[in-house]
Structure 1
Amino acid sequence: MKHEIIFPTKFPIQKELLKLLKKRVSLHSVYVISISKEKNTQHVNLFPESINSEQLIIYTLLIISYKSISKNIGKFMDDVYHKMQQQCKVYPIIYTLDDVKRKLDFGNNFLNRIVNQAPCIYQEDDSLLRFGSIQRFYHKRIYDPIQTTWNSRMKRAGYLLSTVNSIDIDEEPTAIIGILHFVLEQVCAALIALFWEFTPYYYSLPYLFHLCGHFTQLPQTIFSQKTFESQRMFYMLCNAHYQMRYKSQNKFSIRDSDKAYNLCDRFFCEAQNLGEKKLEELKKLHC
């Protein structure tokens, strides 16, 4: 029997966000994986002088629904952002209730951690209560697929990175940056599988970088976006594969592709070192 469980308001614009999510999703429950705030202040020195402040609330949520959502995650994120008057951005991980129950029954460590550790801000019933006492699972049969996924994705990323050197850089900077986009995808997916034991269903680079930011500052450090040039570079890496599909003329320069390669090579190498250390840590726990 469904009976909505009310939780006290303790997160910014929680009520407004839940009200919107209920309209967009056949909602069962919502767990807060993380929350952060970004504040921008503008000082106007011309008469009349003023100070304008804007605050953006950024949520990472596990959203459990009764039915699969009809929109892809990117459109869902944009819809929430605009309906919340650009005051709140949500990075969602969305499962159906049946999927969550099935995965928890089979010992999914990722969902187990969230259900047992993350604050729940909405729950329509207590059907997940029985999973509350389940401990994290450690076994070689859990470690082996993690190691296989890590090795496979990093090998794939390394191969893509190596193919860049076989392309005539004077002719195809757009192709090079397009390939580098997929290098970053593979490295991020490898890190997320290793640290979270989770496989994303959505592969936009800002989304993947945001998820990686929960366990490492590597993406934010290498692709800092603190200057116009770094923002432009990140934009190129996010969109070069679209340029390859829809534009026949090169939009990027040789200098752009060379700089993008150096950043991605650094990201790959540092992620490799970070991952190997994590792999050793997991091996001690599982084997």
Structure 2
Amino acid sequence: MSLPRLLLLEVLVEFTFIFIGSVSLAIVAACEGQDLDSDLLSAKLMLSLTTVRISSDAIFGWAERTPSTKPEIAVLAVLGWAHWLLLSVAGAIIVARALRPLQQVAFAPDCAMNDKELSIRMILVRKSVAIYDVQVKMMCTIGGNRYHLPLARGLTSYDHMWQVPMTFKHDITAEDSPLHGLEFAKVSSVSVSVSATDNAGNPVMAHAMYYNPTAWLTGRPEFQGTFTNGPPYPRVLRGNYADQIRIFRLPNTEASYEGSSATPAWLYNMDNFHVVNPLEEKEDESV
């Protein structure tokens, strides 16, 4: 729940307490023999407001009133106690919510693996956010043992990321790769973790775990039962990610045209962010 909604909820609950308190005071007064009319309800509402210090006698004018009876004092005590308890709990929740870092990144629900590379996609949740000093770590589980999967091209981190989705890759063809020459079914799971700092100076941490559908673990009924009534588990799929970014360009015709000198425009297809094309299917290379 967002912070504005929390504040709105606290205000609504506060006024609900005030209304319940005023009704309770009116009922107590009626039981003691007073006439239950609009004047009584107004007087008890003012008394309920002054109990939680939202109003005071100086606002609506001081006037002599009948001393509170014991039942009325008990209702006022409960109302005052509930008011300060609500403020304490609401204040603690709001402060904890404000101090908790927001989720800034999201991973694709499935990762792609073929004979050449292992790929995992990540995107920033908010377009106004940039992250810096991005540390990426990838690991896999083979035969119950965990192995480090270094990023392709010798990368260990990124200076910054913003708006454009990123694809982290591990080169399987490298001889030092734990996945080099390994059968797909022997890989139990693949995990990735990202740590960075956003442009507001707050820490960013995210993690994702992908499971091989053909592995022994995912075939167990205990594992399947965990996801029976929920979304499907993140999978390691054999294939390639679908294209998601294309550059705008003119059709291939014989007509002459003058090229643009402006910044090139790119088309990003969000629908392809999670799509993994199986190896048997050839990707569409048309523009």
Asked whether the two chains share a fold, i.e. TM above 0.5, the reply is no
For normalisation by structure 2, the TM-score amounts to: 0.19
Name the structure, 1 or 2, with higher relative contact order (CA <8 Å, separation 6+). 1
Larger Rg: 2
For normalisation by structure 1, the TM-score amounts to: 0.19
Higher strand share: 2
